[in-house]
Structure 1
């Protein structure tokens, strides 16, 4: 009985070997992954999948101009490079683009056949207009939760009507308010804080915001009533 079944067994082993070989070969023709953005500064999100974004496959991570293949992520952020017809075993997946006017970038080394690539992109801080407003009392202590307002006109700032402000925010527990969202230019900043019946403020302090240059401005509030 064993001798009679030997040819069938050999055929089965041969078929399995061929199928396995083809499967392994086919698998190496694919690269699959998912694109995420991690930005708690502007988007307030961490590991958010990105849909309809172009991802590039390159063979030299230092080459910012050329690429081998490109793919657009689906609604869940997945991308797929298939039928890779070169002999390379290692690549880099890369993303560089703007989101809401801000530049994001990221890259990840990958190997042929990977199916669970995680490409996380981050905000390019070097192009941001960083400004920190530090609200302090006359002794130099931070004033927590002070209301900070940015105006493009000193007249509007003196009036103190926050509905005319370009940006309004609240300082943290140390009296600091940080933003990246303002365009370069000249602004007039108000900082105000009420404690029971007392009110402290500093109005229309001029600040100059420049692209990519961090600015720290101290506003010393005085009691007005």
Structure 2
């Protein structure tokens, strides 16, 4: 009789545990829908190579009403080809979020998604965002040809008087443009900055002086300089 009671007790407890685990696994997120896709990174600040696969990238799916990426429902890691997949989703609205810290620059994507309305794999592209510090992006061109200038020197001043009197002496930072005429710097305090750009190579001797106001601690600031 004792062994029968033990067997019945074990059976009841096992049944209750099985029911509890089943409810816990389903929750509000469980259904038969899915979302899949591929992660890419496009470094528009430092590269002209276009989109590259974000292999082994971290991706989260969150509630559409929650802007905080820490409050995610599921997280996953893309494979070597940037592919990811979330299954057992409902037909509700969600957000797909992914980010990557790369020095002073953060790359991120935050896209709305409804599994009931998509039938093809999604393409998610992470772009630079200035959510940690501000970014000053400079691009130098030849005013005559409108072509990008390689190895132009851009000197930054916080004093307008110094910038007017000098070309680079007294500047607090010097930038050199890449083959696409681009250069950037970060972590500038809000305020006015004065830029003296020059290019002296062979028969070329062109320059320009300009200014830009940094208004916030975070965000992108872009200026195009046409040297003549």
Whether the 8 Å CA contact 1:108–1:119 is kept in 2: the answer is no
In structure 1, the partner of 2:198 is 191
Alignment counterpart, residue 94 of structure 2, candidates 92, 104, 108: 92
In structure 1, the partner of 2:115 is 111
SS of 1:111 mapped into structure 2: coil
Closer/same/farther in 2, CA of residues 216 and 209 from structure 1, 3 Å limit: farther
Q: CA deviation at 1:124?
A: 4.7
Structure 2 length as normaliser, TM-score? 0.54
Structure 1 length as normaliser, TM-score? 0.55
Closer/same/farther in 2, CA of residues 209 and 122 from structure 1, 3 Å limit: farther
1:63 & 1:104 partners in 2: Cα distance?
A: 16
1:43 & 1:145 partners in 2: Cα distance?
A: 14
2:148 & 2:35 partners in 1: Cα distance?
A: 49
Runs of at least 5 residues in structure 1 that lack an aligned partner in the other structure: 1-25, 159-163, 172-176
CA RMSD in angstroms comes to 4.1
Q: CA deviation at 1:144?
A: 4.2
Q: CA deviation at 1:93?
A: 4.3
In structure 2, the partner of 1:212 is 220
Task: Name the stretch that deviates more: 109-118 or 43-52.
Answer: 109-118
Alignment counterpart, residue 85 of structure 2, candidates 74, 80, 96: 80
Whether the 8 Å CA contact 1:36–1:77 is kept in 2: the answer is yes
Deviation digits for residues 167-213 of structure 1, max 9, x if unmatched? 23357xxxxx444x322556764422557xx442338x575673523
SS of 1:130 mapped into structure 2: strand
Q: CA deviation at 1:109?
A: 1.3
Which of 1 and 2 has greater Rg?
1
In structure 2, the partner of 1:48 is 52
SS of 2:220 mapped into structure 1: coil
SS of 1:169 mapped into structure 2: coil
In structure 2, the partner of 1:34 is 38
1:166 & 1:184 partners in 2: Cα distance?
A: 14
In structure 2, the partner of 1:59 is 63
Q: CA deviation at 1:70?
A: 0.9
1:43 & 1:216 partners in 2: Cα distance?
A: 17
Closer/same/farther in 2, CA of residues 27 and 46 from structure 1, 3 Å limit: farther
Deviation digits for residues 129-158 of structure 1, max 9, x if unmatched? 23344544xxxx456454512346888947
2:139 & 2:148 partners in 1: Cα distance?
A: 14
